[in-house]
Structure 1
Amino acid sequence: MKGSYQIRALTPAEIETAVDWAAREGWNPGQSDAACFASVDPEGFWGGFLDGQMIACISVVNYRQAFSFLGFYIVAPEYRGQGYGYALWQKALEHAKGRVVGLDGVVDQQGNYRRSGFELAYRNIRFGGVPAGRPEASADFELSPLSVPAPELEALDARVFPAPRRTFWQQWLGAEEHHSFAAYQDGALAGFGTLRPCGSGCKIGPLVAVSRSAAEAVLARLLQELPAGQEVFLDVPEPHSAAVELARGLGLAPVFETARMYRGAAPQLETDLIFGVTSFELG
């Protein structure tokens, strides 16, 4: 490494820059993601600065005392392979302070992550394209807008995410141009999801449901908010065959994949409820 290299937490404006870098890498984050991400753990976003210029970024966001999620690990191309990224990686991981850490990493980095103690849990596949059709919403479900993180939402979310995240939900559900809906069956929450605009098209994430029919009901309502001819992207756990089939049934095709990995004991999540991952950057 050459020059004066400083590692420190990012300011809100610098977090916006990290999101822009993620878009440049082709990860296609949502337009309102930065504010939602920063609300979770304002000290969880780090940058490496060479002679005062940010050349690398990473997030290690803490959720309570048991879990952290790592994302946004990017080094400017001209500074890769010189030790700047690894120094930032080591410093940022200290922020987790012994918590189990999860990440969704690009496949060609799996070896590096393994050397840092991460083990593969499963793959996620991003499906994308202009929907060729729209699922039919069963009359068994009542669809309602979601604007606040009600207890039943948090209870269902706890089955697919290893830590409470009320602060995140407060920001996420109120974010500009986020369209969030819930499906109820016989008065009980059966599923929920969000459609949000990205740099390219829109993403549906999360999409969580107790059954495929409930997922289809939420998906059908969300797609009513999708502008005609617009691309949509859905990130699904590869082991969840019903989610993969649902994405393919829309006429979407695989465009990207990540490796879900954990350092420490992998949490026991009900991945068969996950029809769409919230975010590759925050879990």
Structure 2
Amino acid sequence: MAMSNYTIKNVSSAEQLNKLITQFVAHEGWMPALDDHTLYYNTDPTGFFVGELDGEPISLISIVKYGDSFAFMGLYIVLEKYRRQGYGLALWTKALESCPFSYNIALDGVLSMTPLYRKWGFVDTFMSSKAQLNIATASTKLESFVPLYNVFVQPANQVDFNKLTVYDTDVFGAPHHLFLRGLVDGPNTITLVASNQNGGITGFVAARKTIIVEEGWKITPLYADNGQVARALLKAILKKMISNDPRRTVSMLLLASDTNPDTMTLSQEVDAVLLSDMCRMYTKGPLDFAKEKVYSYASAELG
């Protein structure tokens, strides 16, 4: 193990992060979106670390801070040939040390990794599920859905961003405006907002194009005050996705399966296929967020 030739550095730019995401995340079979590098980096430019062996990147991790008390870890990858040699542990330790001890740190861990995370003080809280759906099929399934009351859906950039920030922060549980701004402004992202007859925001959804054309889009997040709003938003954004780029036929959701049972009901209604489960873990107990409004999380990498 040539640890003397192994250095850990902050990722220096969104462009560098893009190269690393393409190299690491796509290689692992994940589904990064076209604008993830800009969206992620601008949320917290200090929160990304790369491990280099003899100048070549072999590992990657993020620990993105929201406000002055919460952080989220993700993008933890070591290239396969360099695993179980201490490189990942060194990177993991560096990332944790970069975050003040007072912060509550969270992550979404695949089930095979949760025993390791427990050793570092992370505690299981609830499960979520990755799901895949066919856009055309799901759109057809929702075609007959009509909300029981008026749900006004419009592009997010036509809504007062301050009002949207208040709603998003309440649902997410921490200051989230930089991530939200990146979603609303993203050139390869569709964002919609649902409102009631009084103009109050009742839901938000984003669909982001992935770097792999055949795998299409990620619907992350999908927030809604109730099932009527969730279905209205999903129906509307599926139509937008089809008209925006009909080549893209498959989507991914990060379902809040434990904390909002209606997510599973909705996934069944649109014939979504569950792919894998993840466990949300925290170092200082569950974050106080509007769990019942979360149908799809914002990001497996950033929370």
- Fold-level similarity (TM above 0.5): yes
Decide which moves more: 6-15 or 105-114.
6-15
SS of alignment partner, residue 240 of structure 2: coil
Shift of 1:137: 4.5
Determine the C-alpha separation between the residues in 2 that align with 1:14 and 1:150. 29
Unaligned runs of 5+ in 2: none
Task: Please say if residues 169 and 177 of structure 2, whose CA atoms lie closer than 8 Å, have aligned partners that are also in contact.
Answer: no
Match of residue 243, structure 1, among 256, 263, 277: 263
Determine the C-alpha separation between the residues in 1 that align with 2:58 and 2:188: 31
Paired residue secondary structure (2:106): strand
Question: In the alignment, which residue of structure 1 is the partner of 2:118?
Answer: 114
Q: Which of 43, 46, 50 is the equivalent residue of 2:49?
A: 46
Q: Which runs of 5+ in 1 are unaligned?
A: none
Q: How do residues 57-96 of structure 1 correspond to structure 2 at under 5 angstroms?
A: 57-96=60-99
The alignment covers a number of residue pairs equal to 283
> 1:233 and 1:149 mapped to 2: Cα distance?
28
1:278 aligns with 298
- Please give the alpha-carbon distance, in whole angstroms, between the structure 2 residues aligned to 1:263 and 1:231: 35
Corresponding residue number in structure 1 for 2:156: 146
More off after superposition, 85-94 vs 24-33: 24-33
Residue aligned with 1:24, SS? coil
Contact 2:123 2:285 in 1 (8 A): no
Residue aligning to 2:231: 216
For normalisation by structure 1, the TM-score amounts to 0.95
3-state DSSP of counterpart to 2:171? coil
Report the structure, 1 or 2, having the larger helix content. Answer: 2
Cα distance change, pair 18–123 in 1 and its aligned pair in 2 (3 A): farther
1:188 is matched with 200
Contact 1:149 1:169 in 2 (8 A): no
Indicate the residue corresponding to 1:168 in structure 2: 179
How far apart are the structure 2 equivalents of 1:51 and 1:153? 46
Work out whether 1:16 is the aligned partner of 2:27.
Answer: no
1:173-231 Cα offsets, whole Å, 9 max, x none, are 10112110111111211111011111221111111010100111111110012234601
Over 4 Å off, 4+ runs: none
Distance 1:18 1:237 in 2: 28
Tell me the secondary structure at the aligned position of residue 183 of structure 2. helix
Partner amino acid, structure 2, of 1:66: S
Q: Compare 256-265 and 111-120 and name the one that shifted more.
A: 256-265
Range moving further from structure 2, 160-169 or 103-112: 160-169
Q: Return the letter of the residue paired with 2:167.
A: L
Amino acid at match of 2:110: V
Between the two proteins, what is the percent identity of the paired residues?
Answer: 29
Distance 2:264 2:20 in 1: 30
Alpha-carbon displacement from aligned partner over 1:127-179 (angstroms, at most 9, x marks no partner): 10214233225261111101266233222222322311212222221011211
* Residues 18 and 72 in structure 1, CA contact (< 8 A), matched pair in contact too: no
Check conservation: 2:208, 2:218, Cα contact below 8 A. yes
Q: Distance in 1 between matches of 2:67 and 2:153?
A: 31
2:251 to 207, 216, 232: 232
| 8 Å contact from structure 2 (residues 205, 221) kept in 1 | yes
Q: Give the partner amino acid of 1:238.
A: S
In the other structure, the counterpart of 2:217 is: 202
